A and B are shown apart, each in its own frame.
Chain A
Amino acid sequence: MVSVINTVDTAHGDMIHDAQMDYYGLHLATCSSDRTVKIFEVKNGTQRLLSTLQGHEGPVWQVAWAHPKYDRLLASCSYDRKVFIWREMDGQWAKVYEYTDHESSVNSVCWAPHELGLMLVCGSSDGGISVLKHKGDNQWEASKINNAHTVGCNAVSWAPAVAPGSLIEPPSAMQQANFTKKFVSGGCDNLIKIWCEKDGHWEEEAKLESHTDWVRDVAWAPSIGLPRSKIASCSQDGRVIIWTCDETTGSKFLPKVLHKFDDVVWHVSWSITGDILAVSGGNNKISLWKEGVNGEWTRISDVGKGQTTNGTSE
């Protein structure tokens, strides 16, 4: 068994707030309070700093990679109320777009599934959510949902674009209409909301109430296998909740508390196959959870310090 292969300084001057792997898992973007975004190449157990993106005037909260079919695009959002879109050309990263329409810190960015086109959703402390749609030639059209969450929106995540019934229609531009355009957001009002685009407008489709403190992160699981929607949410109240929705529940999301942690839970993240959930909370803990056939969630691993778990016992 191999131990630590390498230890490298990210050279971030302050706390790291987010880290994202690109589509292929070969590049890593980290963002920090030190106003920079750093791009690393991760290959065979080594990592190499490729680029440091400067331009934000406040802590950078989150980064998001676009699908590689749109080239190497990265979105970042910051305390400075701005959303930047960066693009790599011949190894050089440059800012290609700047969105400044939020009145407070922008806390979360997420790219839409590539089937929907190049689209970005941003959630801000001003309570609003913006959806930026690429119109070609680096023109972006923004539509804003005001007061999506009172006091602020902390996290956004897109639903996978499943295309039911695309067989009936010949593959054409018509097919676009078959994709579900949906995303989920979580905010300081302790609520989780699901938004759906109808006739070019974003409408609140569902409001999920269960958390008792700020919702810190939401993550819509990749849909593989079954046409079932799964959303993980975590909150300041220490709870991680899995919301599921399928035909049997009548398109209503039903909550299931995965676990109540002692500390705030910052992030939830799904594996690409959507069956393992990584949860990271206060005190440096990451735990991995897997859903069994019976729908029960089992803690399969605990990384970092914290109480030892009863492992895989069922």
Chain B
Amino acid sequence: MMRGNKPVMINVGSSVNALSLSKDNSKVVIAGRALLKIYNVDETNGFTEHLNLHVGRKQGLNMSCSDVAWSSVDETLVATAATNGAVVAWDLSAPGREKKLAILAEHRRTVTKVSFHNFEANLLISGSQDGTMKLFDLRKRESTSTFQSKADGVRSVQFNPHEYFLFAASFDNGYVQIWDYRRPTGCVNQFIAHKGSVYTLDWHPDADRKMTLATGGRDNMVKVWSFENNKEKEINNVPTMSSVSSVKWRPHHPEQIATVSMMLDFSVNVWHLGRKYVPFAHFEVHKDSPSGIAWKQTDPNYIFSCSKDGNLMMHAMRDASCPADQSVSSGLAFSSCGFIAHSSQTSNTMVRAQSPLGSSSKLPAIFGWKAGMKDMVEIENLPDTPLATAPRTSHFLNAKSKFRIFTSVHYETKPCVDFDDYPDSTSHIFEHMTMKNFIFAARKYILDGASANLTFSELCHYNSEVALDAGLCNVARTWKLLGVFFHKDILLNKSSTKVESGEKLKKLESENKRHSLTVKKDEIHGSQIISNTMNDIDSEHHSDDGRLQIEDYLTDIARGRQSEPDLYMTDDDPGFGYGGITSEAEFLSEHEYSYVPSEAFQQREDIELDAIAKFGHIEPPSGINVDTESEKRILTAHGGRWHEKVVPKTMELSSSPSPPANEDDNISEGVINVRPTLWPAPLDEIKEDIACQQLEYFAEMNDIQTPVVMLLAMSSYPTPVILPIKSETVEHWQSSYLDLLAKNQLWVEHAKVVKLSRVPAVQALSSSSTFTLGCQVCQRRLPSSNPWSCDRRMDGEHQNKAVSCFYCQLPVRGRYTYCQGCSFGGHSSCMAAWIKLCQANRTPIVCKYHCV
């Protein structure tokens, strides 16, 4: 995630171990195993080589530099630390090649660090793996004092820039010691600073924080210490991502500190102590571990770094990537319960004023619970975030998140009611979001009418009431409509169907007989053809059984006003014949569609628009009220006033089968009279389409519950009606619905749907029976050879812990009865006893998730 310009850089060709800046920051010295060079630094020209101190091939081990330091007092003085224990001082002002001022070979092992005194040009301190620090006076060209740490190898040593006599040293064993160099006998203070080696330390450059020390170690931490009366106190820390090999305070920015890591992480990070988890600035350009960093003291907008990959770089702070800027400052989640959880960045200056930068508790995130839309609106009044105008640092520091959870409907309030002052659509959406209605309806719907011993129309009526209670008016209407459509097709049991159909057959026969009295034989044949053609249209009813049902239905609907074949025949010209009848039927249906749907759909005018559009324009029939009350009456009365009105006419027609009148009369008469009598026929053809469209409409509106439940209800009877909806679609609907049920933990409803489903994939859910048993103690899979006990059962702990019955606490061999939700169970007999016991005591059955 790097954005911005490339840093000023040069590759010196070999691994760089350390770097140091000259007093005026115009030059940089870098040191490596066979490298000691001085470069001029210029932002426009980059790095240019000024001096190579490593000349000649045989330089010896004295020249294998592990560290380098440039005096901040004397421009000409540079010191290097060698891996063989020597400290070499260089005088850059010396002419020619003889720039070595002194070789101070006093340490017995690698010198890890050299540091000049901040005021005394000739004072130099070194730390070595041999566990000692030595103070050198370059005028004497030997050490004046040796400090025995009595600890471990020295990792870092540095003079305090403000306290003349003090220096700090850090060690491999995690200790940090503070010394007064006038007292070489013992340190002033020592403490354990880190777990593992303390690789680096840096005194704070500001005079007002002169006793502040930053340390970094193997434990990935940067710690900031202050000293009062020689007693250390950890005042801050920055948990970085990998071991810290170097820390450097940023001049003039008392809260900022740069770090590099020893391994894994090749980036240079600048941290702000006010927000310690995210780097304030981040440079990711090195290809290997950076080995040294230094701030440009004269302009701390630049930082130098060198790396094991041989790169020397000068980074500008403006080019840094800022992970905090790039991070996502808000969280958002839609819960299945209809809540929205949202966290967002806030910048409340009040909070910040109360909390001096620092510890974690000072940056609170607020977790609020909101109920009701009114509250959601109120939140708009929060003070504006001054993010855009605030300078970068304060923006960075204002990292607080406000956490809220929104919901629209409070648990106790009834849906639909409290939202009167909001637009209907909005309240609907919030009901929808909370899924309260969904859950209510899912719980209350009866899906299996046959086992509940309800007829289909009773079932539809009941479910319609449920939908009404849930506030789903459209769904309620559709239920009633389904009841009207299919109550003749969907019967409670097959035997009664047979009896009824038997009766109806007789009736049909008698009617046919009557026909034969009045009309010719081929016309009876014609009536059969009508039903046949209807069968053809209706793809679902190919069986004889289905055909019978249709005929039953037709006769049944026409009951009391004679059958429509009668009408056809009587009205038709005897010589019309087969083709004439069908064309007549077509003509009639075409003609009728503009009327029929308007009647059939009247009660759902607001949602059925697209379905109606297919059938032509709507003409709201006169004399029928649109309000819900009258709709109900019409619907529940099945047939309604409209039928009653027209039936007498039909009766008239059929009971007095007048001989064919002249053609003109017939047409005009036909239009008026035939309409009501004929409407069941086209309805019969289209009712399944309508139902399908209606269900698909619900599905499209993301109400998956309605179509699934309706389909299940229709197919749950012994004489099911299967709507011509693609089985893939049904499967998809059902699995979506099951998922929603599961999300709302409606296990019982879930099981019911699985049981009633006719989709193999869904049915398979109930027979998914491969379970692996695990030992309760070690979580390991039980061996198949001995599936009731762990193979480490000899250990006491694992004994009898495998699959034990919750009731009798004995291992279960053989059948294990359990709850699918929480796998709570045991012996079948025990479970039965337990459930009996619970029912007897009227106590709820104890199961982890209350699944049963």
Chain A contact residues, CB within 8 Å of chain B: 1-21, 23-26, 28, 30-35, 40, 42, 44-47, 57-59, 61-62, 79-80, 89, 104-105, 125, 151-152, 162-167, 170-171, 175, 188, 216-217, 222-227, 266-276, 278, 280-284, 286, 288, 290, 293, 300-306, 308, 311-312
Contacts and interface: CB of A to CB of B under 8 A. Distances in A.
A300 to B, nearest CB: 5
A275 B373 contact: no
Q: Is the interface of B mostly helix, strand, loop or mixed?
A: mixed
B188 to A, nearest CB: 34
Contacts of B435: 272
A100 B364 CA distance: 31
B369 interface: yes
A14 B733 CA distance: 43
Given A25-B335, A25-B337, A286-B332, A14 B278 contact: yes
Nearest to A105: B1
B297 to A, nearest CB: 30
Given A10-B403, A47-B369, A59-B323, A19 B704 contact: no
A45 B742 CA distance: 21
B764 A21 contact: no
A299 to B, nearest CB: 11
Contacts of B125: none
A288 B434 CA distance: 14
Contact of B277 (A58, A105, A216, A312): A58
A271 B334 contact: yes
Contact of B332 (A13, A89, A278, A312): A278
Contact of A303 (B379, B418, B432, B701): B379
Interface in B371-388: 371-377, 379-382, 384-385, 387
Contacts of B387: 282-283
Contacts of B410: 1-2, 45
21 contacts: A4-B375, A12-B401, A14-B277, A15-B400, A25-B335, A25-B338, A26-B337, A31-B331, A32-B365, A35-B239, A45-B371, A57-B240, A167-B760, A223-B736, A225-B704, A227-B728, A266-B328, A273-B702, A275-B432, A282-B387, A305-B379
Nearest to B242: A57
B66 to A, nearest CB: 28
Contacts of A15: 278, 324, 327, 329, 345, 365, 399-401
B722 interface: no
B15 interface: no
B229 interface: no
Q: Is the interface of A mostly helix, strand, loop or mixed?
A: loop
A40 to B, nearest CB: 8
Contact of B367 (A47, A58, A272): A47
Contact of B372 (A2, A13, A163, A302): A2
Contacts of B704: 224-225, 273
Interface in B274-288: 275, 277-278, 284
A175 B762 CA distance: 12
Contacts of B46: none
A210 to B, nearest CB: 21
Top 9 A-B pairs ranked by shortest CB distance?
Answer: A13-B360, A25-B335, A225-B699, A21-B335, A25-B337, A16-B401, A19-B331, A171-B764, A275-B702
Nearest to B267: A104
Given A45-B411, A312-B423, A267 B328 contact: yes
Contacts, number: 319
B333 interface: yes
A282 B386 CA distance: 12
B401 A303 contact: no
Interface size on B, as a range, is 35 or more
A284 B761 CA distance: 44
Nearest to A58: B241
Nearest to B376: A303
A232 to B, nearest CB: 12
A25 B406 CA distance: 13
Contact of A16 (B331, B376, B729): B331
A19 B343 CA distance: 7
Contact of A163 (B328, B400, B731, B740): B731
A284 B399 contact: no
Given A284-B402, A288-B429, 16 more contacts: A1-B413, A5-B369, A13-B360, A15-B400, A17-B331, A21-B339, A33-B399, A47-B405, A125-B1, A167-B759, A171-B760, A225-B699, A273-B704, A275-B432, A293-B701, A301-B373
A25 B339 contact: yes
Contact of A170 (B368, B403, B760): B760
A121 to B, nearest CB: 17
Contacts of A16: 331, 343, 365, 401, 403
B107 interface: no
Q: Which residue, of B379, B403, B727, has the highest number of chain A Cβ atoms within 10 A?
A: B403
Interface of B: 1, 220, 239-242, 275, 277-278, 284, 323-324, 327-346, 360-361, 363-377, 379-382, 384-385, 387, 399-403, 405-406, 410-411, 413, 418, 423, 425-426, 429, 432-433, 435, 610, 699-704, 727-729, 731-733, 735-736, 740, 742-745, 759-761, 764, 779
Contacts of B344: 280, 284, 304
Nearest to B383: A305
Contact of B425 (A28, A32, A62, A312): A312
B380 A20 contact: no
Contacts of A1: 371-372, 374-375, 410, 413, 418
B763 to A, nearest CB: 8
Contacts of A223: 732, 736
Contacts of B329: 15, 17, 266, 282
B278 A33 contact: yes
Contacts of A26: 337
Given A33-B399, A80-B241, A105-B323, A18 B376 contact: no
Contact of A33 (B277, B405, B759): B277
Contact of A311 (B323, B332, B381, B423): B423
A21 B339 CA distance: 9
Q: Which residue, of A1, A225, A286, A288, has the highest number of chain B Cβ atoms within 10 A?
A: A225
Given A45-B411, A57-B241, A267-B330, A4 B277 contact: no
B332 A19 contact: yes
A4 B328 contact: no
Given A24-B745, A167-B731, A308-B380, A224 B702 contact: yes
Contact of A19 (B324, B374, B381, B403): B403
A19 B241 contact: no
B277 A19 contact: no
Contacts of A282: 329, 387
A60 B380 CA distance: 28
Contacts of B372: 1-3
B342 A280 contact: yes
A21 B380 contact: no
Contacts of A312: 423, 425-426
Contacts of B365: 9-12, 15-16, 32
Q: Which residue, of A125, A266, A268, has the highest number of chain B Cβ atoms within 10 A?
A: A266
B415 to A, nearest CB: 13
A136 to B, nearest CB: 9
A278 B736 contact: no
Contact of A162 (B339, B382, B732, B764): B732
Contacts of B337: 21, 24-26
A229 B702 CA distance: 14
Contacts of A25: 335-339, 743
Contact of B364 (A9, A167, A226, A281): A9
B380 A273 contact: no
Given A10-B403, A59-B277, A278 B331 contact: no
A6 B368 contact: yes
Contact of B380 (A152, A167, A302): A302
A301 B371 contact: no
Contacts of A152: 1
A284 B346 contact: yes
